[in-house]
Amino acid sequence: MIPDGYTDLAPGKIAAVVTYLEMLERPTHTKISSVKLREIKNADLNWYRGVFRRAGEHWLWWSRLEMNDAQLSSVLNAPTTQLFIAESEGAEVGMAELDCSEPGQVEISFFGLYGEAMGKSLGRPFMDALLGRAWEGSPSRVWVHTCTLDSPVALPFYVKCGFKPYERAIEVADDPRLRGVLPESAAPHVPIIR
């Protein structure tokens, strides 16, 4: 248990407050999305790592980058994983993954707009399209998590889309930039402390 108050971190560590959110009913709006999803099957691992970096390097997404080829292939090619590229007007604008490994639940494991697509009102149509896919199998809930390393608009965005926060956690990890998983220029809003 983490005590109240401040807790020092060792140099080389990063910490984030993680917020978990869930949606227990299919959204009632049925707008046709201006963003289309292209499902990717049998993704080339180097291609995928590039897409993952493109969507998440600025926000310190590193989990998939630490996986070796066998681990990453196992996750991406699992029958319960769905990988999508979001497209608008013929251009790729983001990526998302759904994890359907828990019966009756769908986790939005990753949802990211590419940097050049941010600020163009594509996030909501992208999420609408993804929620349409997530609810196809009539799960009892769809859930997602975000953290304080992510974009400051992520949490209010998820709430505006209809997700309700239900839990918080603290994540502490070795800084992936100091381990060479991401370049030191990644996530300039998170200072590196050596």
| Angle between helical axes of 45-56 and 69-76 (0-180°, round to 10) | 80
Take residue 79 and report the two structure tokens written for it.
């029958």
Pick the CATH number of 13-174 from 3.90.1150.10, 3.40.630.30, 3.30.420.40, 3.40.50.11810: 3.40.630.30
- DSSP helix/strand/coil, 73: helix
Long-range contacts of 62-69 (CB under 8 A, 24+ apart): 62/176, 62/181, 62/182, 65/176, 65/181, 65/182, 66/176, 66/181, 69/45
Strand partners, 170: 17
Q: What does each of the 194 residues of the chain score in pLDDT, given as a tens digit?
A: 777 999 899 999 999 999 999 999 998 876 677 899 999 999 999 999 999 999 999 999 999 999 999 999 999 999 999 999 999 999 999 999 999 999 999 999 999 999 999 999 999 999 999 999 999 999 999 999 999 999 999 999 999 999 999 999 999 999 999 999 999 999 999 999 99
Whole-angstrom distance, CA of residue 17 vs CA of residue 59: 14
CA nearest to 190, candidates 61, 67, 95: 61
- DSSP helix/strand/coil, 53: helix
Around 111, how many Cα atoms within 13 Å sit in the side-chain half-sphere?
26
Q: Where are the domains of the chain?
A: 13-174
What was the pLDDT predicted at 60? 97
What secondary structure letter does DSSP report for 37?
Answer: E
Give the model confidence (pLDDT) of 55-64 as tens digits. Answer: 999 999 999 9
Whole-angstrom distance, CA of residue 90 vs CA of residue 173: 38
What was the pLDDT predicted at 1? 72
